[in-house]
Amino acid sequence: MSDTDYVDSFYARTRADDRRWSTLSGIVRTDTCIVGGGLAGLNLALELAERGRGVVLLEARRVGWGASGRNGGFVGAGYSLGARRLRERVGPDDARRLYGFTQDAVRTIHRRIADHGIACGPVVPGILKAGLAEDGPGLEREMDFMAEAFGVTSLEHWSAERLRSVLATDRYSDALLLKGSVHLHSLNYARGIAAAAAAAGARIHEGSAVVGHRLDGAEKEIRTAGGAVLARDVVFACGGHVGLLHRRLSMATVPVATYVMLTEPLGDRLAGVIGVPHGVSDTRFCNDYYRPLADTRILWGGRVSTFQPPAERIAAALRRDMLTVYPQLADVKVEVAWGGTMGYPRHKMPLIGRLQQGVWYCMGFGGHGMSATTAGAAVVAAAVADGDDRFRLFQPFGLDFAAGPFARPVAQLVYWGHKLRDGWRARGRPRGRPAAA
C-alpha cells in the first residue's frame, strides 16, 4: 500500500504517524471477527480486547480511511436524530438512556486520549450551535428542554450581541455553547484507537477487503482475497462502505457524501473574523460546520450529496458557502478539499443489533458519529462478551428498508428539496458583514 491510500486531506497530511498493519494471510481462528476499520469497528476491537476476547479486525483499506478520518472533528453527545424526535419516538425514559450512552461516550473519548496518549490535539473545548437570523432567537428554549428532559446542564445561551462580538457575521440569531463538546484531529484519534486495540491484543489487518462469508453454524467464516477468519461472533461495522456485502445491512443504509475544505492560514486576521476557538455549526438540515485551527486556518464543512465530485468542485462549492457567512474572506484561498461517504439510515439512528446467533451489526452513524460510534461499540461489545441486553434499546430503529446504493437519486432529490427550503427561508436576511469585526 502507498501513501495515496488515504484521501488527500488536512488529516492525512498531518497524521501523527504512518504505522501500517499487515494484510490477512491464511486461516485465522478467533473469538470475534469485526468487519470495518472505522471508529465503530476500532472501538469494538478495543472494548473486546480489553475484556480478554480474541479479536481480528478486517479493513479493506487503511484504518480510519472513511468518514471516521475525514469528518469535521466535532465530538459531542447525541445522534443524528434530534433529541426531541428521539424522545417522541421512544418515550422519556428510554430516550434518556439512549442519550446517556453518548454522554458516557464523550467521557470515554477523553479518558482514552489521556490513557493511551493519543496525539489528536489540540483538543479544543466548546462548540457553538448557532440559530439562523431569519428564524429569530429560540435556542434558549432548547437549553431548557435539554436540562429538563436529559439532565444536560453544560449548555450556555449566547445572545445575538454576544455572538456578533466574536463572529464577524450577521448570519446568526443566537447560539448555544455546548461546553461538554470538543473538536480534535479525527484521523489521529482513529489511528490512536487502532494502536490501543492492537496493544490490548486485537489483530488488525489493513488491505483485507471481505469478499465472502458463511454465517450459519456455530463457527462463522469471513473470507478475504488472502485468507479467512473463523470466529464464533461476527460484527459488521462497515458504515457507508458496506456496498453489497450483506443484503439486509446494505439495503438499510444510504451511502451519502459530505464535504470539507481547509483554507490557507489567515494569521492575525483570523481573530477579527472568528474570535473564539470553538467550533461552529448552524441548525439547518443542510448546515455549515467549521472551526478555527491552531495554525490560523479554517476547516469548513457542509453539503450532502450522493455522488463524489472532484476536489476542485468541492473547494469551489464550500468556498461559496463560507463567503455567504463571511464575505470579508473573499481573497482567502483553499488549500485542500475532500469528501467522505457515510452510512445514513432513514430513521437517523445507528443500526445496532443482532441478525442471528453470533452475527451482529454496529453501523449507520452518518452525521453525528464521533461519540455515537464509541457508544454503539460499548453497547455491542457488552452484548457480545457479557450477554448484556442494552442493545435492545435500539430495536425501535431497525433495519428499515432504504434501498442502499440504489436510493442515491431519491436521496439527492430530498437533499435538494431541503436546500431550496433553506434558500427560501434565507431570502431577505442579512448576509455576513463585509469588514472584520
Q: Which pLDDT tens digit goes with each residue over 355-367?
A: 999 999 999 998 8
pLDDT at residue 134, rounded to an integer: 82
pLDDT at residue 410, rounded to an integer: 47
pTM: 0.92
* Residue 412's pLDDT band (cuts 50, 70, 90): very low
Share of the chain above pLDDT 90, in %: 80
- pLDDT tens-digit readout, 196-222: 999 999 999 999 999 999 999 999 999
Domain 124-182+255-342+407-437, CATH class in plain words: alpha beta
**Distance between CA 368 and CA 128 in Å, rounded?**
15
CATH superfamily label, 1-123+184-253+345-402: FAD/NAD(P)-binding domain (3.50.50.60)
pLDDT at 311 over 60: yes
Looking at the chain, how many residues does it have?
437
Lowest mean pLDDT, pick from 28-32, 341-345, 371-375, 433-437: 433-437
pLDDT at residue 326, rounded to an integer: 98
Average pLDDT, the chain: 91
pLDDT at residue 437, rounded to an integer: 35
Which residue in 372, 173, 148 sits closest to 283, CA to CA? 173
Instruction: Identify whether the C-beta of residue 41 lies closer than 8 Å to the C-beta of residue 59.
Output: yes
Please report, for the chain, the start and end positions of each structural domain, with discontinuous segments joined by +.
Answer: 1-123+184-253+345-402, 124-182+255-342+407-437
pLDDT at 94 over 90: yes
- pLDDT tens-digit readout, 150-162: 999 999 999 999 9
Instruction: Identify whether the C-beta of residue 168 lies closer than 8 Å to the C-beta of residue 24.
Output: no
* Residue 405's pLDDT band (cuts 50, 70, 90): low
pLDDT at residue 3, rounded to an integer: 42
pLDDT at residue 418, rounded to an integer: 46
pLDDT at 316 over 90: yes
pLDDT at residue 136, rounded to an integer: 80
pLDDT at residue 17, rounded to an integer: 94
Q: Please give the C-alpha separations between residue 176 and each of 129, 141, 170, 287, in angstroms, as whole numbers.
A: 5, 10, 16, 15
Q: Which residues pair with 212 in a beta bridge?
A: 223
pLDDT at residue 107, rounded to an integer: 98
Rg (CA), the chain: 21
**Distance between CA 16 and CA 407 in Å, rounded?**
37
**Distance between CA 75 and CA 271 in Å, rounded?**
23
pLDDT at 401 over 80: no
**Distance between CA 345 and CA 396 in Å, rounded?**
13
Which residue in 403, 300, 427, 298 sits closest to 345, CA to CA? 403
Place of cell 469548513: 300
- Over range 15-37, report the average pLDDT: 97
Phi, psi of 282 (to 5 degrees): -90, 175
**Distance between CA 153 and CA 100 in Å, rounded?**
13
> CA quadruple 370, 374, 376, 377: dihedral positive or negative?
positive
Largest CA distance in the chain: 67
